[in-house]
């Protein structure tokens, strides 16, 4: 038998915000590159996600099912290149805030293991970061629900 494990597509040098779910932990991040490359860095022995999970006494990443969800933020791609990382980090910080306010947002209690970036101040943006983060959060919830159904039926 075979089983589809998902799909990721995209291109380099555009804006993504992503969420990684492993066990009861969430890692939130952003990248201007291809998400799988960034995820591999997080999962490497010295990676930020791997080291945080090991510090919590968990097994190394890869021994449990992991959900990777990324969202392309096309509204950021239209900004000046020197503002794109700041904008991604703004949305990342807001997403951290929203998950902190509702740790049971995905129907289960989660602990955020990533560190939010510092708030982006002194900039006026052409978009509402809270609304963008809410949309990303809703997408993550939908993907999580689908993933849970799929993984529970095969375990």
**In which band, very low, low, confident or very high, does the pLDDT at 149 lie, cut at 50, 70 and 90?**
confident
Residue with tokens 């509204």: 75
Residue with tokens 């978009």: 127
For the segment 17-28, the average pLDDT, to the nearest whole number, is 92
R_g of the chain computed on alpha carbons: 16
Taking 3-state DSSP, the helix, strand and coil percentages for the chain, each rounded to the nearest 5, stand at 45, 15, 40
Using CA atoms, how far apart are residues 8 and 85, in angstroms rounded to an integer?
21
Single pTM value for the model: 0.91
């Amino acid at each position: 038998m075979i089983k589809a494990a998902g799909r990721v597509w995209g291109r380099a040098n555009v804006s993504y915000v992503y969420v990684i779910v492993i066990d009861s932990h969430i890692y939130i991040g952003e990248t201007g590159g291809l998400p799988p490359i960034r995820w591999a860095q997080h999962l490497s022995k010295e990676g930020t996600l791997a080291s945080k999970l090991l510090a919590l006494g968990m097994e190394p990443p890869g021994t449990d099912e992991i959900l990777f969800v990324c969202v392309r933020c096309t509204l950021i791609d239209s900004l000046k290149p020197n503002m794109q990382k700041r904008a991604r980090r703004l949305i990342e910080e807001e997403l951290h805030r929203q998950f902190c306010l509702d740790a049971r947002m995905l129907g289960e209690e989660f602990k955020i293991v990533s560190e939010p970036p510092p708030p982006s101040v002194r900039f006026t943006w052409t978009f509402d970061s809270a609304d963008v983060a809410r949309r990303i959060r809703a997408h993550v919830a939908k993907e999580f629900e689908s993933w849970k159904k799929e993984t529970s039926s095969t375990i």
